[in-house]
Structure 1
Amino acid sequence: MSYCLSINGMQPESRRELHKRYHDNHYGFPIHDDNELFGRLIMEINQAGLSWETILKKEESFRKAYNNFEIEKVANYTETDRERLLNDPGIIRNKLKVNAAIENAKTIIGLQKEFGSFEKWLEGHHPKTLQEWMKLFKKTFKFTGGEIVNEFLMSIGYLKGSHSESCPVYHQVLKHSPKWLTE
């Protein structure tokens, strides 16, 4: 079932609005800012084993806890920062996920130095099948299983499937996507 159809189910208004806001304004749209790409990766990693709704409700807390997803700051987190995160009730307090965020920030800094940006690293590997992306992410990043990689790449427009063709947002995503992403 496409995400487009699933947000229209029988949900209380506040839940439906939360999902609709993400669906209509973020899901599948390209992200060109490395910090925001990193933030989306953190969010997808933290969603593992939980509902996306839980993560959406905690997004502002994640932004605050992880310095608005500033890669440089997160890469330089100390043991004190790690402990702060593990004690923050506003985020997911999972040691593997917290460690992955910090280590992945360090990895992205290396990719930025080598490729110019995290976005250029992603672009340089396009096109790939999901299986190829999964191998690349597993080799490059921490805590990036198949579903995390799939959702991350769909959510930033690198894999098709974020919206069905009958979804009104599908055409908006196409308007914002580079030509090579829509071919």
Structure 2
Amino acid sequence: MNWYCDIAPGHPFHGPYHDNEYGVPIRDDRALFERLCLEIFQAGLSWLIVLKKRPALVAAFDGFDPDRVASYGAAEIERLMSDAAIIRNRRKIETVIGNARKLLEIREAEGSFAAWIDRHHPRDKAAWVKLFRQTFAFTGGEVVGEFLMSIGVLPGAHRPDCPAFVRILELDPPWRKVDPTV
């Protein structure tokens, strides 16, 4: 998504996300789950809408704590559906809850979501999409590709001339086993 390097600088929502989060490796399961959920909520919408609604989504979904979200039932779904501050799409809300439950299974088997990703790395995008579709709901090519670029697993988040690209290279991401310029 190299175009992001052009539109983000100075933008009140895109700028901070591009400069400080996009493409930066993360290992925390809560943060990984949040990022996956945000990509799911973005499907069919603009990323700007998601960034604007992000604080409300984080609050409504208990900080995207997988343990808490996995315990949601009908009452929580109705609470979320009536919350005008978030993206109110029943299918996406139910998917987030179901994916939290799947993440708990992964954590039980692998120790963490990050460990699960480690175990399957490296893969090309097509193989990642296949794996995610077998494991999680609402994880098509765009959702999976953006999720993995956003957490530093797949290359392509930034152009080599982007200042964020240089900062990320200096982090020496644990998943980097490929040339980041590819």
**Aligning the two structures, in what range does the TM-score lie when normalised by the shorter sequence?**
over 0.9
Between stretches 67-76 and 167-176, larger displacement belongs to 167-176
Is contact 2:57–2:86 with CA below 8 Å preserved after alignment? yes
Match of 1:46 in 2: 41
Q: After superposition, where does 1:45-64 map in structure 2 within 5 Å?
A: 45-64=40-59
Task: Kindly report the root-mean-square deviation, in angstroms, between the aligned alpha carbons of the 2 structures.
Answer: 1.3
Q: Is the CA contact 2:153–2:175 (under 8 Å) kept in the aligned structure 1?
A: no
| Sequence identity (%) | 45
Q: Which of 22, 25, 31 is the matching residue for 1:30?
A: 25
2:18 is the alignment partner of 1:5 = no
TM-score by length of 2: 0.93
After TM superposition, give the deviation of residue 174 of structure 1 in Å. 1.4
> Could you tell me how far apart the structure 2 residues matched to 1:66 and 1:138 are?
23
5 Å-filtered alignment, 1:1-183, equals 2=2, 3-8=4-9, 16-178=11-173, 180-183=175-178
| Superposed structure 1 runs of 4+ greater than 6 Å apart | none
More helix by share: 1
Shift of 1:167: 0.4
* TM-aligned CA deviation for residue 178 of structure 1: 2.6
Structure 1 unmatched runs, 5+: none
Number of positions where the alignment pairs a residue of Structure 1 with one of Structure 2: 177
Question: What TM-score, normalized by structure 1, do the two folds share?
Answer: 0.93
